[in-house]
Amino acid sequence: MMSDVVRIEVDGREVEARPGETILEVLRREAVHVPTLCHLEGLPPSGACRMCIVELEGAPTLVPSCSYPVVAGMKIRSRSPKVLAARRMIVELLLSSHPDDCLYCGRSGRCDLQALARDLGVRQRRSQPRGTRRERDVSSPSIVRDPDKCVLCGKCVRVCEEVQGVAAIDFVGRGARTEVGCAFESGLNVSSCVNCGQCILACPTGALTERSYVDEVLEALADPDKVVVVQHAPAVSVTLAEEFGLPPGQDVDGRMVAALRRVGFDRVFDTSFTADLTIMEEGSELAHRIRTGGVLPMLTSCSPGWIKFVEQFYPDFIPNVSTCKSPQQMMGAIVKRFWALREQVRPQDVVSVSIMPCTAKKFECGREEMGCDHVPDVDYVLTTRELGELLRMHGLDLWRLEPEAADTPFGERTSAGKLFGASGGVMEAAVRTAHWMLTGRELEELEIGPLRGLAGCKELHARIDGLEIGAAVVSGLGNARRLLDQVRGGRKDLHFIEVMTCPGGCVAGGGQPIGTDPATVAARMKALYTIDRDAPVRVSHRNASVKRLYDEFLGEPLGEISHRLLHTHYHRRDVLK
């Protein structure tokens, strides 16, 4: 056992380390704070920012702790005067080329560079900023890129390429002219970007932010001729509290509904309702494909970043993608085509707003397929972060509001619909209802352990009344790429595949509060599982309001009306290849 442990000294204290560990790993385990700007947990170190430097006894220079392995007998000083002076110098050099617009920056107060300047006592500029200012890229409906705020840490580039497998951005130029950008100096809108926003979560400054539609929503709320409705996604209620400094994993559903009413929305609906509706349509579509020899495996269509990924990189799999719209778009469609008719309001006088954990939803609502008669299903999408901004703007304190229920009929949801917020949740909800559709009986054990948790790839193989069903769940587009390559290579044991663009699912979406480390994502997931465990109705096919919607308007799953309003088509975008 002793051969598995080496002893080193950290700031005068003896600690144990394992061979092969980096200094940074040991220091963090020993609760020694070491700042970083470029480090990404789970990926090989790049050593680009040098903020994590430490002093080694006997070494001629400071070394980056993220990439330097431990050696027995090593003596480390993590905060010596030499180390602190070097870190201060790095921050001063970064600030020398950084714009002085912290008051207006979307990351002000949550900026890693700002925090480092504060922690290291950098209070004045000792060198003049450069005069050149580069143009912001505002071409994307989802993401704004400001190259002047980029510190060249490379985290966005690595997440886009190594985690998501998209590679829409990279380092361009040489020497002092190096910057992060798209190929051929183009905008994000014509790049391979899938709008997932994982680059925003990785960015330590305000170089990447979501495109805000708060002003447009405020304008709609002030218009007396408009009826403004809002829907909120399953994952938002378990993450919004973090925007107000509270620990992750707290469900503020009822308080959030009360706050949205006080902001001025005429109706507040729950997207989990149309998540249940999605299960009815998608489950019926899967059963139809299995019975009629349709294209299998069927791929879920709830995640718009994933859909664009398929259109660009795997267009041959478009026939495999479910034709169901996402729950967001289904809600928009029934609000404007059913609810508006019942309320005697013209669809064009309804402003439909979504609160989503996802920046790609901003892109999705603008797709040509997502509307009818030139009226979009959804008009504006706000992220969880933007909702926090909106509530602060109105001076609303969530914890001083009494919880309220969402409006009927689209406020009633089951916990199966709520599970859509976590990777594996769509599949779990689908399996519960598919079992009932195929056997006429409820699944005895509703919690399906193999589909839960943070693993990037999960599989389930089950026999239902003699039918062998194979299902897979992947989150993160890099994992999706590997599974699709297996299917391309001849794998035949899967009937249904759930894909979430973001690692961990919507609880870790690109529009969620900054700071989506694994422990935070796990706490958010746990909150959803707790909601499911304690819910009175846990299967989508028992949602009384969904049944009523079919009886009064849609007819039946895959029927003529539901197919026209709730289903869509996708097209190949691989022209860049």
Q: How far is it, in rounded angstroms, from Cα 290 to Cα 285? A: 9
Pair 326, 280 in one domain: yes
Average pLDDT estimate for 414-430: 97
The answer to whether the beta carbons of residues 52 and 65 sit under 8 Å apart is yes
Average pLDDT estimate for 35-61: 94
Q: How far is it, in rounded angstroms, from Cα 516 to Cα 425? A: 19
Query: Which H or E element spans position 354?
Result: strand 350-356
Q: Look at residue 10 and tell me if it is in a domain.
A: yes
**For residue 270, is pLDDT > 70?**
yes
Q: Which domain holds residue 70?
A: 2-79
Q: Look at residue 86 and tell me if it is in a domain.
A: no
Backbone CA torsion sign across 278, 279, 280, 282: positive
4: left (phi over 0), alpha (psi -120 to 50) or beta: alpha
Which of 210, 226, 245 terminates a domain? The answer is 210
**For residue 177, is pLDDT > 90?**
no
> Which residue, 299, 336, 333, 571, is CA-closest to 430?
299
Which of 157, 181, 210 terminates a domain? The answer is 210
11: left (phi over 0), alpha (psi -120 to 50) or beta: left
Domain tally for the chain? 3
Copy the structure tokens of residue 553: 């308007």
Q: Look at residue 85 and tell me if it is in a domain.
A: no
| For residue 297, cis peptide bond before it (omega within 30 degrees of 0) | yes
**For residue 131, is pLDDT > 80?**
no
Pair 30, 140 in one domain: no
> Which residue, 270, 234, 320, 275, is CA-closest to 433?
275
The answer to whether the beta carbons of residues 113 and 37 sit under 8 Å apart is yes
Average pLDDT estimate for 174-190: 91
3-state helix, strand, coil in the chain (%, to 5): 40, 15, 45
Backbone CA torsion sign across 568, 338, 359, 472: negative
**Number of helical (H) and strand (E) elements in the chain, helices listed first:** 19, 19
CATH of the domain at 158: 3.30.70.20
Q: Look at residue 84 and tell me if it is in a domain.
A: no
Pair 160, 265 in one domain: no
Query: Which H or E element spans position 8?
Result: strand 6-10
Average pLDDT estimate for 355-373: 96
Q: Look at residue 448 and tell me if it is in a domain.
A: yes
**For residue 311, is pLDDT > 90?**
yes
The answer to whether the beta carbons of residues 306 and 206 sit under 8 Å apart is no
The answer to whether the beta carbons of residues 422 and 525 sit under 8 Å apart is yes
Pair 369, 225 in one domain: yes
Pair 136, 252 in one domain: no
**For residue 266, is pLDDT > 90?**
yes
Pair 304, 338 in one domain: yes
Identity of the residue numbered 250 = Q
Pair 387, 242 in one domain: yes
Q: How far is it, in rounded angstroms, from Cα 230 to Cα 474? A: 29
Q: What is the pLDDT of residues 329-340, one digit of tens each?
A: 999 999 999 999
Average pLDDT estimate for 292-303: 95
pLDDT at 185: 87
> Which residue, 233, 243, 301, is CA-closest to 506?
233
Pair 226, 196 in one domain: no
pLDDT at 577: 45
Q: How far is it, in rounded angstroms, from Cα 200 to Cα 202? A: 5
Q: To 10 degrees, the CA torsion angle through 426, 431, 434, 439?
A: -170
Pair 177, 252 in one domain: no
pLDDT at 467: 80
Which of 57, 79, 101 terminates a domain? The answer is 79
Pair 267, 386 in one domain: yes
Q: Look at residue 531 and tell me if it is in a domain.
A: yes
Identity of the residue numbered 82 = K
Q: Look at residue 87 and tell me if it is in a domain.
A: no
pLDDT at 576: 47
Average pLDDT estimate for 77-95: 96
pLDDT at 575: 55
**For residue 1, is pLDDT > 50?**
no
Percent of the chain with pLDDT over 70: 98
Known catalytic residues?
Answer: 282, 285, 302, 322, 361, 364, 369, 506
Q: Look at residue 504 and tell me if it is in a domain.
A: yes
pLDDT at 388: 97
**For residue 264, is pLDDT > 60?**
yes
pLDDT at 124: 84
Core vs surface per residue 140-166: b (16+ CB within 10 A) or e: bbbbbbbebbbbbbbbbbbbbeebbbb
Looking at every residue in the chain, the average pLDDT score rounds to: 94
pLDDT at 2: 45
Pair 368, 394 in one domain: yes
Pair 140, 51 in one domain: no
pLDDT at 149: 95
**For residue 203, is pLDDT > 60?**
yes
pLDDT at 372: 87
Copy the structure tokens of residue 278: 């999605």
Task: Look at 51-55, 102-106, 217-221 and tell me which has the smallest mean pLDDT.
Answer: 102-106
CATH of the domain at 7: 3.10.20.740
Q: How far is it, in rounded angstroms, from Cα 15 to Cα 218? A: 55
